[in-house]
Amino acid sequence: MDAVPAIRVVDLRKSFGALEVLRGVSFDVHRGSVVSMIGASGSGKSTLLRCINRLERPSAGEVFIDGEPMGGPVTASGERKERPLKDINRMRRDLGMVFQQFNLWPHMTVIGNVIEAPLRVRRMSRKDAIQLAEECLARVHLSEKGKEYPARLSGGQMQRVAIARALAMQPKAMLFDEPTSSLDPELTDEVLTVMRELAADGTTMIVVTHEMAFARDASDRVLFLHNGQIEEEGPPDQVFGQPRSERCRQFLSKKLQ
C-alpha cells in the first residue's frame, strides 16, 4: 500500500441547520481499492460522498485527494481558507461521480454526454475526445449507442453511459452514489457487472450501495454508517461474517433475509 492514500477523509462533519448529518467520519481509500458504504437511509452515506467532491461543503474536517486538501491549505494562524471554485473544479476532475438518478444531459447524444467534460474542462481536441469516449463506451458495453439520445435508453443503459461519462475524465477515483437504487431489479445486474469489471481493473472506487452482494464480493473494505458515524468497518468477510456492532448485525440480517 502506498504511503499517501488516494482519498483520505479526516473527521468530516456536516450539519444542515440544526440537523447533524455527519458527526466526525475518518477513513482512507488506497489506490486501486474498492470501499463500499452501507447503512440505512438517512445514515449520511450520500452526504459523505457529496462532501468528498464538495458538492456539499463540509461543516468541519477535511478531505485529501492524493494528499492535497480539498478545503485549502492551513494558514500560519491555523485557519483553513476555502479554496476558490476554480481550484475545487480542478480537483473534482480527479473524482468521477455516478448518481442515483443518472443525471445524463438529455439534450446531448450519448457521445455528446461523454465528450462534454473532456472538451470543455480538459480542453481535448474533438477528435481525441471522441476516441476517448468510444473507449469509455466500450468499457460499459455500449459502443453501438453513441448517436442515441438518453431518452431512448433503458435505465441500466443510462447509468452505464453515466459511468462512461465519469470515466472519460480519467479520474483517480470513482464515486458511486447508490448507482442501482433507481433501477428495476432486472436492470441492476448490467450496471453491477460493469462496476465489478472496473473494480477488477484496479479502479479506485467508493460505492454507496444497498446491494449487499456487491459490497461483500467486490469490495476490499466495507464501512457501515449509522447516524453520521462509522459504526463498523473492515474487510467484507469480517463485517458480513462477524460484525462487532449490534446495529450492523441487525441491519445486515434485515438486508440479507
Q: Nine-digit cell at 166?
A: 465519469
* Shorter beta-carbon distance to another protein: residue 169 or 230: 169
Q: Count CB-CB contacts under 10 A for residue 172.
A: 17
Task: Give the shortest CB-169-to-another protein separation in angstroms.
Answer: 6
Task: Tell me the residue ranges of DSSP E strands in 168-235.
Answer: 173-177, 205-208, 221-226, 229-234
Question: What is the C-alpha separation between 226 and 205, in angstroms, rounded?
Answer: 21
Question: What is the C-alpha separation between 32 and 51, in angstroms, rounded?
Answer: 21
Using CA atoms, how far residue 179 sits from 27, 46, 100, 158, 160, in Å, is: 22, 11, 5, 11, 9
Task: Give the shortest CB-19-to-another protein separation in angstroms.
Answer: 19
* Shorter beta-carbon distance to another protein: residue 102 or 224: 102
Task: Give the shortest CB-117-to-another protein separation in angstroms.
Answer: 4
* Shorter beta-carbon distance to another protein: residue 152 or 244: 152
Task: Give the shortest CB-57-to-another protein separation in angstroms.
Answer: 12
Residues 6+ apart with CB under 8 A from 192: 180, 211, 214
* Shorter beta-carbon distance to another protein: residue 3 or 151: 151
Residue found under cell 458480513:
240
Which helix (H) or strand (E) segment holds residue 204: the answer is none
* Amino acid of residue 72: G
Binding site for another protein (CB under 8 A): 53, 55, 85-86, 89-93, 95-97, 99, 101, 103-107, 116-117, 120-121, 149-152, 162, 165-166, 169, 175
214, 100, 228, 97: which is closest to 165 by C-alpha? 97
* Shorter beta-carbon distance to another protein: residue 119 or 215: 119
Task: Give the shortest CB-118-to-another protein separation in angstroms.
Answer: 9
* Shorter beta-carbon distance to another protein: residue 175 or 187: 175
Task: Give the shortest CB-176-to-another protein separation in angstroms.
Answer: 12
